[in-house]
A and B are shown apart, each in its own frame.
Chain A
């Protein structure tokens, strides 16, 4: 199995998984079922985390069938690849935003038992938009090597696929990042500040769950989770700026591969704390159950692992 293969395997998950999450969310609104709502938001959040792996594996897939500076493999529609990339980026950005709102929704449900009409509305509108974009990206992605699903001549399909925002597509992002010598260092700095914010929340919450700083109610520590999301969001944005500006540094970089794997695992770990109550019930001097302690310890290990991989990108891999 190689990275292009992973892209082929995973690329159906966002569309299929997201439609499931969206359908369950609507069903939860209709039936007013809290459990269903939790489940649907968890699915949306998980798909958003996983979509990072889908997006970044796409460049390797494109390289495999259309190497830079060489002829594409026979039967590959080259312009469909760039259209697919353009729409995939838009879909990815919308999906990250939807995932962030799903996180906020899950976080609020524990605090107030309802997620608020604003968040509900945002999740509904954003997931519809995301689903539309993701379906479009998936369709064009299919047309790259499946002329049998194109209606009419392939060239017509390629031009019809052209849907672009002039200021938000991979080439525009790339020229923004590489256009000034200060965008990269400034983004690196923000990436580190985001890291500190994320570590702030990971350390305080998880160390308390592990038993440090008794006197602080675990239920109160729950309040700071969105600050961790803010740090993570800063790092998704700045990290994707690096990736889109210089994908050749990352697609063949084994350390980057493991960084993405660890981020997905850390996302699943986060889901445990968002979905289940058991970690948060202890008061000021209470102990969290063993399962929560294991999850808290693995959160710290996973995030230090993500930091390790990020740090080693230039040393064990080929990034600068």
Chain B
């Protein structure tokens, strides 16, 4: 079951690296500014100014920024929706639902997660120079990284055990579920606030 996400993520990372390498080599259309940017800034700007990045950021087409962000929101619904359900169940909501079959929801969760990794990278690609200096962006990344680590621990501890419903819950399962819930709320909050902290793409302002 875990193999699918691994293959998917490998393909995804390879594609993204190719895309970034291609863009970095492609003609940078940067205009000379009043003060010459530092070398690092120059690279970020040149990536941001590739045709694809500019299209995502500036095209009025609904398939550009609006469509990618839509998929990102749907992916959020899948990931956080399923995780919230798993966490709440471990925390004691609806005890009559057995835990073991809930592991079958994980593929839905992974679909959402990789959808969001892909769309998230595209959105980052379009606004590289502003997102990378936005503290809210890094807060979101940290929340997601910790949330995924917590989720994988919960999966190993609870959902990978077919006998989990016939014995008491492992000692720290509830704590992990609680932390997971808080981390996902943090990730959603930081993500939503990216529309208010720092520049916003796609709306022409």
A residues at B contact (CB < 8 Å): 185, 188-189, 192-193, 195-204, 207, 212-217, 220-221, 223-224, 227, 284, 304, 307-308, 311-312, 314-316, 320
Contact = CB atoms under 8 A, between A and B. Distances in A.
B77 A199 contact: yes
Contacts of A217: 96-98
Given A220-B96, A308-B70, A200 B62 contact: no
Nearest to B64: A315
B184 interface: yes
Interface string B96-109: 11101110110010
A304 B193 contact: no
A290 B12 CA distance: 37
Given A203-B105, A212-B108, A217-B97, 20 more contacts: A185-B192, A185-B195, A188-B195, A189-B192, A193-B188, A196-B184, A199-B81, A202-B81, A204-B82, A215-B98, A216-B101, A216-B102, A220-B94, A220-B97, A221-B94, A221-B97, A224-B88, A227-B88, A316-B62, A320-B203
By DSSP majority rule, is chain B's interface helix, strand, loop, or mixed? helix
By DSSP majority rule, is chain A's interface helix, strand, loop, or mixed? helix
Contacts of B8: none
B70 A312 contact: yes
Nearest to B94: A223
Given A188-B192, A207-B108, A308-B70, A224 B203 contact: no
Nearest to B99: A216
8 contacts: A185-B193, A185-B195, A188-B192, A196-B84, A199-B77, A200-B84, A203-B85, A223-B96
A311 B100 CA distance: 35
Interface residues of B, number: 38
A314 B97 contact: no
B193 A189 contact: yes
Nearest to A205: B85
A221 B98 CA distance: 10
B76 interface: yes
Contacts of A195: 77
Contact of A212 (B88, B105, B184, B203): B105
